[in-house]
């Protein structure tokens, strides 16, 4: 068994190691409309996720929107989404949030095609 290096310790890993099994989890599928493509929205979402114990993905849609799936502890998901909202407040014209059932299968937070 290999030891973990500091580089391997991420908020998502800490989430798996530190959370009690009864911690309330939350998942949301979010669609953002406005000037959200071609401006660094997805890369910024990944950067913001590094500061929160959440997992998920973000991608551009062919209709000009950005789709984002996030899951983690309820409070962490809420704080992550608020941070995205605050960062892109001048670009987001509409935000549609749909609650999902957390599956706990996601690893990290990434840009997907």
Active site residues: 42, 60
Q: Which residues contact 94 (CB under 8 A, 6 or more apart)?
A: 31, 32, 33, 34
Q: Which residues contact 73 (CB under 8 A, 6 or more apart)?
A: 15, 19, 23, 24, 25, 26, 53
CB atoms within 10 A of CB 32: 26
């Amino acid at each position: 068994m290999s030891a973990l290096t500091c580089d391997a310790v991420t908020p998502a890993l800490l989430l798996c190691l530190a959370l009690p099994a009864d911690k309330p989890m939350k998942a949301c599928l979010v669609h953002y409309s406005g000037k959200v493509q071609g401006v660094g929205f997805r890369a910024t979402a990944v950067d913001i996720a590094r500061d929160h114990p959440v997992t998920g993905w973000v991608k551009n849609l062919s209709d000009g929107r950005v789709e984002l799936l996030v899951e983690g502890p309820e409070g962490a998901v809420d704080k992550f989404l608020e941070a995205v909202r605050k960062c892109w407040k001048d670009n987001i014209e509409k935000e549609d949030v749909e609650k999902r059932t957390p599956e706990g299968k996601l690893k990290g937070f990434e840009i997907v095609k």
